[in-house]
Amino acid sequence: MSLWLCLRFEQLPLQALRPDTQGCEGQLLPVVVLEKQRVVRACDQAAALGVRPDMGTATVRALAEDVRLLERDPQQEQNCLQQLCCWAYSITPTLYSWRQDCLLLEIGGCLNLFRGLQPLLDRIDTDLSLRGFSYCQGLAPTPKAAWLLSHRDDDNQQDPLEQRLAPLPLKLLDDFPRQTDALAKAGLWQFGDILDLSQQALGRRCGKAFTLFMQQVLGTHYDERPDFQPPQTFSDHYWFGYEVKANQELLPAMQMLLQSLCQFLRNAQLQCQQLEWQLFGIQRQMSRLQVRCSSSQADWQEWYRLTELKIEQLQLKTGVEGLALHCESLSAGHYNSDDLFNNHGQHEPLHSLLDRLHNRLGLQAVHKIACRDEHLPEYASYSSYQVAQASSLTKETTQRRPFWLMPAPQPLGQQRQQLNWNGPLQLLAGPERIEDNWWMEAISRDYYIAQNPAGQLYWVYRDRLEKQWFIQGVFA
Amino acid sequence: MNTAINNALSSNAAAHHPAITQVIRRQDTWLGRDSTSTPQAKEYGLSSGFSSLDRELYGQGWPTGNTIELLSDGGGLGAMGLFLPAMEKLSQQGRWQIFIAPPYMPYAPLLEARGIDSGQILLVHPQNRQDLLWSIEQALRSGTCSSVFAWLGNDNYRYSELRKLQLAAANSDVLSVLFRTRQAGKQHSPAALRMEMKEYRRVHILKQRGGNQYIDVDLSSDEDTPGQPQLWELPAYPEGDACATPALSA
């Protein structure tokens, strides 16, 4: 049997704006959201002062002196609702948002997963209060009935649906103002009054749309809507509500956001390689922080460790009031398994060390090396922070080559007809001629092995065209 | 614990008592007497590829899970060549072989020719001493490296800093080598093995936990695998004639 849960965010116009309610002396200021100069929502403080919906600006100012008046932002509300959908997607795949301020979730199919209704409702309550949303909930076999019942505080689920709906006022149906007015004139105020009427009689009075709605409420007509589809990018934020000055204090919120990211990734079977933190200062100025990982990850602990490294180095210029986490390039998830038999005490995948080094030292500080099929030594071996997949070299190198190659050949000094590099050099073996690059800038070198007085061997060459000696390698 | 050890010793079954064996197995336990006879000694050595050296090393090879200090100046006369055979063996494990603050760039074709997968080599260039120590410790602890080579440079390091690295290496099977200047030989160090190389094919063991000290070991060329490029040998191609007359007047 399907069971629908309606989460109605009555204060969404207010909560979506995240107003700064702190007064200068620490007390909470009244906040009111306006639309076309009329009150849409008022916070508890304002309501206590007597501010009610639909009041004009002047009246509000008269009632509350230091009131903050905010303009309603429907786009922001939609964003909030979208994020709430992403969050709710971890509970059930069958859900959609409705009427600008509601989420409708089919939870009949996932009660076993959460071990019963109450644990699920508890979890929803914890999650939403962490996110700073207040809500009303309604449970019913149909989505529309769930929405209606979210207006009732003293709902007993054991009763039959008609009985639970009966005391609700018809005024709630603000999509049908003409019909409810007509019914009110006839003395029908509550659902109980019209549920007793016959369907045909109601249909004649109120029209097809209204009866269809009532049938959907009662479940006699199927209410079909497209389900929410999770987006292909992730973004979420957290507002502290106060100023954070120490880096360490950011971490718990980051942990929470990462968990929600990884929950999202797991739900959507995706992985990401890079994420971006945005830190909002008190004047809404923003600083960015990017964390990269060499392989796709969906494990929040790994991301948390990497973020920690970045946070250690971060120097906050101003206090931080909010955090946002964005993740744009998501790829389909794939999971690797560890080697069961031969893991040499290895507890983590190879790339995790690389990622830690990258994130603390920077991308450029860690290089890989690779071979190229080239004649000139400086081209045959290269090191870079980004190495393409190494090509397998078939050429057999049995000639003598040094272990160390200098980044660039260094010109050698000469003293009294003798080469000098930390002492006089004596040539022991050679030459070996290496020529290349004749089609561009021809290069022709004679390579020798030279020894200094301490016995150290070097790889030196004489450029035959420039007639100049260079040192290029060290045998060590 | 003390009574357990006493009991075990008195019953002359020290090596078989579980508590004692556990203590002996710890790689940072110092065994006073000549312990090449104890079976544990043979367990953890990673063959160096030079039999004369293996014979002198406690554990018949490089003490993995410990730090090894190699003291040398300048380019470090053959210091890397000493570890090439071990690197080749470790290459089969498929884990990283990491070079932290290397003086130059390793020549990839040489590594490939010596059977070392150059794709496993990571070069890390830390900007400061703090990052250097941090990188070494991370590499030692992570378990994703089969060998860690770090160049500590000219700086002086406190005993506690080196001890931290030694502890990071313990409980792992990493071949961890710290390259330091010869000057550092005068300072106290927690490394299990300290060596000095003054010339090719001759290693001087300065300190060895549980093994012989102050000895010179000659590395014979007989064990070089033919067909592989060698670091220490002069090439087979004719020398002398060609070499004597390079046009020095540039």
**Best mutation target, A400, A426, A458, to test chain B (most B CBs within 10 A):** A400
The crossing angle, in degrees rounded to 10, of helices B18-25 and B2-10 is 110
Task: For residue range A345-380, list pLDDT tens digits in order.
Answer: 666 777 888 888 888 888 888 888 888 777 788 777
Average pLDDT, chain A: 82
Strands (E), chain B: 45-46, 62-63, 66-71, 96-100, 105-106, 121-124, 145-153, 175-180, 193-199, 202-208, 215-218
Mean pLDDT in residue range B107-120: 85
Which chain B residue shows the shortest CA-CA distance from A470?
A: B250
With beta carbons under 8 A apart, name residues in chain A contacting B77: 454-456, 476
What pLDDT digit, counting tens, does each position of A94-144 carry? Answer: 888 888 888 899 988 888 888 988 999 999 999 888 888 888 888 888 888
Does residue A440 carry a pLDDT above 80?
A: no
Q: Supply the pLDDT for residue B248.
A: 52
The residues pairing with B218 across neighbouring beta strands, listed in sequence order, are B202
The answer to whether the beta carbons of residues A111 and A117 sit under 8 Å apart is yes
Contact B109 A455 (CB under 8 A): no
Mean pLDDT across B63-83: 81
Beta-carbon separation of B124 and A361 below 8 A: yes
CA atoms within 13 A on the CB side of A6: 24
CA angle A182, A186, A189 (to 5 degrees): 85
Q: Name which of A396, A468, A473 is nearest B107 (Cβ-Cβ).
A: A473
From chain A residues 175-194, the ones with a CB under 8 A of any chain B CB are: none
Mutation for B interface: A355, A363, A383, A406, most B CBs within 10 A: A383
Q: Are A473 and A405 in contact (CB under 8 A)?
A: yes
CA angle A82-A87-A90, nearest 5°? 130
What is the interface size between A and B, counted as CB pairs within 8 Å?
A: 209
Chain-centre distance of CA B153, in angstroms?
A: 17
Query: Considering only CB atoms, which chain B residues are within 8 Å of A462?
Result: 246-247, 250
Confidence of residue A340 (pLDDT cuts 50, 70, 90): low
**Which amino acid appears at position B131 of this protein?**
D
ipTM computed for the complex:
0.78
Instruction: Provide the CB-side half-sphere exposure for A211 (13 A, CA).
Output: 12
Q: Measure CB to CB from residue A431 to each of B96, B146, B246 and give the nearest one.
A: B246
Query: Which H helix or E strand runs over B110?
Result: helix B108-113
CB of B42 closer than 8 Å to CB of B35: no
pLDDT band for position A393 (50/70/90)? Answer: low
> A-chain residues within 8 Å CB-CB of B226?
none
Higher-scoring residue by pLDDT: A427, B27: A427
Model confidence at B98, in pLDDT bands (50, 70, 90)? very high
Where is pLDDT greater, at B40 or B24? B24
Residue B95, pLDDT above cutoff 80: yes
User: Which phi-psi region, left, alpha or beta, contains residue A212 (left: φ > 0; alpha: ψ -120 to 50)?
Assistant: alpha
User: Which residue from A minimizes the CA distance to B225?
Assistant: A398
Torsion sign across C-alpha atoms A413, A417, A421, A426 = positive
- Over 90: is that where the pLDDT of A305 sits? no
pTM for the model stands at 0.64
Q: Would you say B165 and B67 are in contact if contact means Cβ atoms under 8 Å apart?
A: yes
C-alpha distances in Å from residue B9, one per residue of B15, B27, B30, B99, B243: 9, 20, 17, 44, 67
- Cα distances from B41 to residues A321, A426, B36, B45, B191, in angstroms, run 59, 45, 6, 8, 17
Residues of A in contact with B97 (CB under 8 A): none
Arithmetic mean of pLDDT, A428-440: 78
State the first-to-last Cα distance of chain B, in angstroms, to the nearest integer.
75
B107:A348 CB<8 A: no
Strands (E), A125-248: 136-140, 234-244
Select the residue of A361, A369, A402 nearest B135 (Cβ to Cβ): A361
**Cα–Cα separations (whole angstroms), residue B92 to A340, A466, B114:** 16, 44, 13
Is the CB of residue A70 less than 8 Å from the CB of residue A1?
A: no
- A-chain residue closest to B122, CA distance: A368
* Bridging pattern class, strands B121-124 and A136-140: unpaired
pLDDT, position A19? 66
Q: How confident is the model at residue B1 (pLDDT cuts 50, 70, 90)?
A: very low
| C-beta neighbour count of A314 within 10 angstroms | 16
Q: Would the pLDDT of B2 be above 60?
A: no
The residues, ordered by sequence, that sit 6+ positions from A25 with a Cβ below 8 Å of its Cβ are: none
Are the C-beta atoms of A122 and A103 separated by less than 8 Å? no
